[in-house]
Amino acid sequence: MSGHSKWATTKRKKAKIDGARAKVWNRINKEITVASRMGGEDPEANPRLRLAITKAKAANMPAKNIETAILKGAGKLEGVTYEELVYEGYGPNGIAIILECMTDNKNRTVGEMRNLFSKNGGNLAQDGAVAWMFEQKGKVVVQAPTLTEDEATELAIEAGGEDVQLGDDAWEILTAPDDLAAVTKAVEAKGLVVSEAEFTRIPKNPILVGDDVAPKVMRLLDILDDHDDVQNLYSNVEFSEAAQAAME
């Protein structure tokens, strides 16, 4: 099983080291609410909700918060109704960007996204403009850093995964989208800790940007990622080691 370039496939996350925990919880809260609304409040019968709860527990989200989000999604408590939206666009040097958002005001969000792109060297594109540049996959993050590559590969194969790579002190198993829930259960059945289970988008052809352009690209990604309505951000950008070091 081959690995993937970390910078080519990394989803820009809100859970940055210096980020506020409240932002992480807010993102997960939205996901739980929408999952509960769409598939019901029973995690065993609703794979999407089960995965969202797994993510919430990994982020140390209080059980009460999780329960409240589920009840709001199920319509048993009053709450905001979120709509799921996907925006596509281009950044400096023609890099592709996909934003997965949840919002209670579509018109506000699309206007703000268009403004952020245009002010930072990019432009919002039409639906389908860049989605074809990515493969949709499931990703299961396993907290078992002591596993060797051979052991992790064997685990991935036995669980029904397609690929495995070493992330930040954890093994990441990539799956077909429809297999995400099943692979997660198979890994947990072996007594291993799954800290994250989610859908992701893998760029087919990463674009290496020059070191002179890298700061502009990073600025746009950071600004978009920091928006409250953005749940997930994906890009096909790849940075040189020198550019990465300069931005750390």
Alpha-carbon distance of 13 to 232, in angstroms, equals: 7
How far apart, in whole angstroms, are the C-alpha atoms of residue 203 and residue 235? Answer: 7
Give the contacts of 77 (CB within 8 A, at least 6 positions apart): 68, 71
Residue 92 clears pLDDT 70, i.e. is over it: yes
The matching CATH number, chosen from 3.40.50.970, 3.40.190.10, 3.30.70.980, 3.40.50.880, for 133-203 is 3.30.70.980
Q: What does the pLDDT look like over 101-137, one tens digit per residue?
A: 999 999 999 999 999 999 999 999 999 999 999 999 9
**For the chain, domain boundaries:** 83-132+205-247, 133-203
Q: What is the pTM of this model?
A: 0.82
Q: What is the pLDDT of residues 18-29, one digit of tens each?
A: 456 778 888 999
**DSSP labels for 77-91?**
S--PPPEEEEEEEE-
Burial of 169 per CB tally in 10 Å (0-12, 13-18, 19+): exposed
Crossing angle (nearest 10°) for helices 106-119 and 214-225: 160
Q: Residues 36-63: pLDDT tens digits? A: 999 999 998 888 898 899 889 888 899 9
Q: Where are the alpha helices (DSSP H) in 60-211?
A: 63-73, 106-119, 149-159, 180-189
Distance (Å, whole) CA 95 – CA 84: 23
Cα–Cα distance, 132 to 110 (Å, whole number): 21
Q: How far, in Å, CA of 33 to CA of 209, rounded?
A: 38
Rounded to 5°, angle at Cα 168 from 163 and 174:
20
CA–CA dist 54, 46 (Å, integer): 13
Out of 2.40.50.100, 3.90.550.10, 3.30.70.980, 3.90.79.10, the CATH code matching 83-132+205-247 is 3.30.70.980
Whole-angstrom Cα distance, residue 205 to residue 80?
38
